[in-house]
Structure 1
Amino acid sequence: MSEYKGRLTYAKGTYMEFVVAPNQDVDFGDILVVEGKNDDRFYIRAYDFKIKSRWSGMNGVSYLMSKLDENGQVANQEELDFYLGGNHTVKIGIAEQLCYSDAQGQLYNPKTCPDFFCEVRGLATDDTALLNEMKGDLEIGYLKSGRAVLKLPVGIFGSKAITEHIGIFGTTGSGKSNLVKVLSSSIIDSENYGLLIFDVHNEYYRDLSLHPRVNERLVVYNTNPEAARPNVRKLALNYNEVEPEDITACATFSEPQLDAIYKLSSVWQDRWMDYVLKYDAEDIIEEIAGCTGQKFQSRTISKIKSICWNLEQELNISEEANNPAEITAVSQMLKDLEQGKVVLIELKNISPVGEQALSTLLSKKMLLHYANKSETERSFAKPVLIVLEEAHRFLGKKEQSTQNVFARLVSEARKFNIGLCVVDQQPRLLADKVLSQLNTLFILGLASKSDRGKLEAMCRKDILQQRNEIKNLDCGELIVATNYMRFAAPVKVHKFDEYLARI
């Protein structure tokens, strides 16, 4: 059994008060256990405190003030200690009930409350009903209770969380990248899930390459790989793999320009980008006018040619691998993901235009690849999680309304065994529809009150009583709230190098 903490003195619904035992420390966020009758156990979380004393009334305070001198200092410390000593003063902990378990270890949502003056104690390893639900198969850290970090592993069940979408939110320096690395390492160990990471800052390879199973479970792509990293593959695309949506997602186009892009695609089909780059603007205008009867201005076609040329140079787009018998980089990538590997796409040396085009193209290919599978084929393919950093660029209020591929992923991907992991510093910039679809939230330190308020409103679990806790999270600490857990749990995330040393 764990340490005795006090006695329950009041309960109404899920609200509880308990007297903290003398010489015991209870902190904001402490998870405690109330021992009920018939071996019931009620799990509570302390979120506030107050001090009560026989002197708390105005008459009592006035009497104690009379024992001070004219400067408000204690005139006779021994006399004052006499009045304040003994059991005249108590610390009251205010808590909410999280859930309870019966004698058989079955866990339930709050439906009743314990009796008056039941014992309150700390969490122990024999509280298996609660701990088993929080363990998961993808470990991320240890359970945090107040200021203490308990050696009790906490994670998520990938089969439940991945396809129902994940959100990772925290300010710069709060530990988002470390969390993604730990989650990636857990997925590498699991072998049950695929993971596609769009690495905006090229920050993951150095650490993930230290994993003992890196050669068999990690695949890295770069548009211009360095000779010093022979295990990094070159990312190259075919003209016939680029579709109009990939172009329109990466730049702002006028209505005539958008119309021209789709006209070009309808006339030249899979070779449209190849022909746009091969022919002069005037020849393209004449060809489109002859096929559709619509004539575009030269500057309209020139804008499209300019964007296509930039993407061709950045993303190594060519027709060298148009042989259907040859496996392209994209095809190999999809094959690796459905086999449960981690695929890392490094984007640091690519412009924002190229980055958005490539992210859109690969995500769309993944969605279509899984959507075109039969139910039987899909049952053999591993669920895939797509990690999207700085997600407000793709899923902001304006971007989400355009129904781009990421908006489709949020609303449709679950049925195809694909999930989206949204990583961002400012959740308030994301569309409400997107936030409402994220069934698992990892909430790290957030400086902005509006960001915290947005997550409080959209979170599937009630985290209002954890405001003080969330506001004071240190680097590497988070609150995880997911559908299948009965409450939002505080976690101290493993440091990646320390976690790797345990494998």
Structure 2
Amino acid sequence: MSAIQDLVSNAVLSNSPLKILKNFLDKQHQLHSAGVKQDYRFIGYVLDLGYDTAKIITSDPYKIAVGGIPRGSFLILAIDERDEQGNPIQTGLPPHFTLLRVKSVSSTPLSNQVQHTYFELHKKSMPELDIWTQAELQWGALECDVIGMFYPKPSDKNSVEFSGDVNNVVSAHKYKVFSPDNDLLDLILNGLVNKENQQELGVFRPTECQVGLLNNNYPELKISIEDFKGRRTAMFGKTRLGKSNVVKVLADAIIRTSTTTQNVGQLIFDINGEYANDNPQDGNKSLASAHTNNCIVYALNPRNPSFKELKLNFAEQPESALPIIKSFLERDNQTSNYIKSFGNIELPSILEIKSEADKGKKIRNIRKIQMFWAILKSAGFNLDESKLISLNLSSGQINKFNPGLKIDLRNEVYGGTPPASPSNLNDLIKEFSLLATFIQNNKSSDLLRGSSEPLFDQDAIALLNFLNPASGSGTQILTSYRHYHSPSAGDFITEIIQLLNDGKTVILDLGNASEDVRKYFSDMLSKAVFASQEDKFVSNTLSDHFIQLYFEEAHNLFPNNNKENTTVYHRFAKEGAKFHIGMVYSTQSPSTISQELLVQTENFFVGHLASTHEANALSKLQHTFNGLEDDIKKSRTPGYMRILTNSHRFVIPVQVKKFTV
């Protein structure tokens, strides 16, 4: 009868992943019956079992046979009842096992007696123990967390399912505890991972300490790229311990799995230049070197002739350029009143001026832009005059570079018959410089008043005083900022959006740039990406296309104390999935990140955290890290991470592979 039952059982499990469990238990029984210790994975028995915790008793020979049982390692709890012939007793339940994670050493009912024995042993300096006492002392207990249960998926017996709770806790004596072999470990680690676009991340590493574990051939841990597309991913840990390497491995995996489909574009804000440039000193290759056909690098200071120039066109983007200039002036401690007044000006965009319906306001705004152009030209910025003329900033009498000053005002400014209206930037500099001097000397002149208000408001006066100050170096203090400008810049946003739509990986090399410049480019391109994806969503053209964004020093973009929830970055956190925008953000400290973002993050890669506060901040908002705080604080091996992805239901320790070309 048992042979028939065994045949039926094997038929039911023929295609089920849980056939591994039956084979494992059968093998362990055979090894036990034959007295063979090699490959014997038995750990011990259950002393106490609940829905959340389990206490197991074990002995030194069992622990030594499996290479040790470090804290945080996985054990399995399985019913293994057999008849006198060693055949499994049919319980009517499908094959299943409960996953345990070792939490700590626990006391046993005999702990006091054991301590008394040790005390007497050392007090009397006994040279050795008798074999019976040795056998008694080698027993101990372990406290474990009950992680959940693996069982056949009810709707598909050939698939495995996992629940975070257990619904079948029978008497403790019916269970046996085992350290899983590699086949079972592979099921535990990878059995729940989305089968589509799988990539190897690294090797399962249960503990930082490798004593007794070096010869264990642990299985590779797999991740699915589908878990990262359109989702939020956090990288936490102290610097130099592997966050950037994980980013490279992840970005590399996305490139490899989407090369043919071209359905994932990636934008990496590279604040240290490590993804765009090789680092021979550390033996590190860059992502750009690994994928020369799929990676396009834009750099503020290109270190490679193949890199594209990432510059601002100060003349055509005055509304963005002036705040950047202000940040430079503040950084360089330029505190003169006329300089601060210049930095506080808010210039309109070219588009705003062209759409202005009020003719008088439009003319005044055009003059301000022309004043700004004169300042740039005077500071030695390379401006394309023909291109500026083609912008067609004209209304009424203003054309080319003519600021449209009244003839009687020009007569006074020039002190006689004035020359023809400015037709180039040098003429414009001369006219505005003379105008600045006239205004400084004739502030109450009726020629400076219009029909109802002054011809030049405070912003215009500040521009003129900066161009030609009564004292001070004026525009010359801007000369050191010229390398951020290019007259041919301005179309890189359109280029980058198109590259992302084509499934390319774009790296913005922002190495050596100031925080303000980095933030400017991050803001500008993030808004452009969001707007592009939102337009696709509205027009129902998103299809299966995704864009992944990578941010470092994320606490600057998602600060925990920021009450402003309308920035583009918060929109990424809230609405990114809807618009097929994924986000990978890195920082050293979880506590510095917006709690709202943390709550909505699906994937975590956690290295060493230095303080209890940081570890607790993580586990407080992501409950699956509860109980792992001490391990996270103690381990400091580069690349040793604890990960949780959208597929995984529990945290897994892994040694992430080193990125190589």
TM-score for the superposition, normalised by structure 2:
0.63
Task: Tell me if 1:477 matches 2:640.
Answer: yes
Report the alpha carbon displacement of residue 312 of structure 1 after superposing the two structures with TM: 7.2
Partner of 2:82: none
Per-residue Cα deviation, 1:353-379 (whole angstroms, up to 9, x for no partner): 222111211111111111112466643
User: Matched residue of 2:624: which SS?
Assistant: coil
8 Å CA contact 1:426, 1:451 repeated in 2 = yes
> Structure 1: which amino acid aligns with 2:136?
N
8 Å CA contact 1:34, 1:114 repeated in 2 = no
Task: Tell me if 1:30 matches 2:73.
Answer: yes
Change (3 A) 1:165 1:300: farther
Choose from 41, 44, 47 the match for 1:6: 44
8 Å CA contact 2:76, 2:177 repeated in 1 = yes
Partner of 2:164: 109
User: Matched residue of 1:350: which SS?
Assistant: coil
Pairing of 1:72-221 with structure 2 (within 5 A):
74-78=124-128, 80-81=129-130, 84-103=133-152, 104=157, 105-115=160-170, 116-117=172-173, 118-123=175-180, 124-126=182-184, 128=187, 131-134=190-193, 137-146=198-207, 147=210, 151-191=218-258, 192-204=263-275, 205-206=277-278, 207=284, 209=286, 214-221=291-298
8 Å CA contact 2:560, 2:591 repeated in 1 = no
Partner of 1:268: 353
Change (3 A) 1:26 1:359: same
Report the alpha carbon displacement of residue 436 of structure 1 after superposing the two structures with TM: 2.4
Range moving further from structure 2, 41-50 or 14-23: 14-23
Report the alpha carbon displacement of residue 176 of structure 1 after superposing the two structures with TM: 1.0
8 Å CA contact 1:164, 1:438 repeated in 2 = yes
Partner of 1:325: none
Partner of 1:222: 299
The share of aligned pairs that are identical, in percent, is: 19
Pairing of 1:219-368 with structure 2 (within 5 A):
219-226=296-303, 229-238=304-313, 242=317, 244=319, 260-261=345-346, 268=353, 275=370, 277-279=372-374, 295-296=458-459, 298=461, 313-318=482-487, 320=488, 328-368=491-531
Partner of 2:85: none
Report the alpha carbon displacement of residue 314 of structure 1 after superposing the two structures with TM: 4.5
Q: Quote the Cα distance in structure 2 between the aligned partners of 1:250 and 1:411.
A: 32
TM-score for the superposition, normalised by structure 1:
0.81
Aligned positions, number = 482
Change (3 A) 1:95 1:358: same
Change (3 A) 1:235 1:102: same
In the alignment, structure 1 segments of 5+ residues that lack a partner are: 323-327
Per-residue Cα deviation, 1:256-293 (whole angstroms, up to 9, x for no partner): 99995265678536998965631569989999997999
Q: Quote the Cα distance in structure 2 between the aligned partners of 1:264 and 1:211.
A: 35
Report the alpha carbon displacement of residue 295 of structure 1 after superposing the two structures with TM: 4.1
8 Å CA contact 2:326, 2:343 repeated in 1 = no
More strand by share: 1
Per-residue Cα deviation, 1:375-397 (whole angstroms, up to 9, x for no partner): 66643463111111111122224
Q: Quote the Cα distance in structure 1 between the aligned partners of 2:621 and 2:449.
A: 51
> Structure 1: which amino acid aligns with 2:231?
E
Q: Quote the Cα distance in structure 2 between the aligned partners of 1:336 and 1:212.
A: 18
Report the alpha carbon displacement of residue 155 of structure 1 after superposing the two structures with TM: 4.3
> Structure 1: which amino acid aligns with 2:308?
R
Q: Quote the Cα distance in structure 1 between the aligned partners of 2:570 and 2:466.
A: 26
Report the alpha carbon displacement of residue 94 of structure 1 after superposing the two structures with TM: 1.6
Report the alpha carbon displacement of residue 317 of structure 1 after superposing the two structures with TM: 4.3
Task: Tell me if 1:50 matches 2:106.
Answer: yes
User: Matched residue of 1:385: which SS?
Assistant: strand
> Structure 1: which amino acid aligns with 2:183?
T
Computing the radius of gyration from Cα coordinates, the structure with the larger value is 2
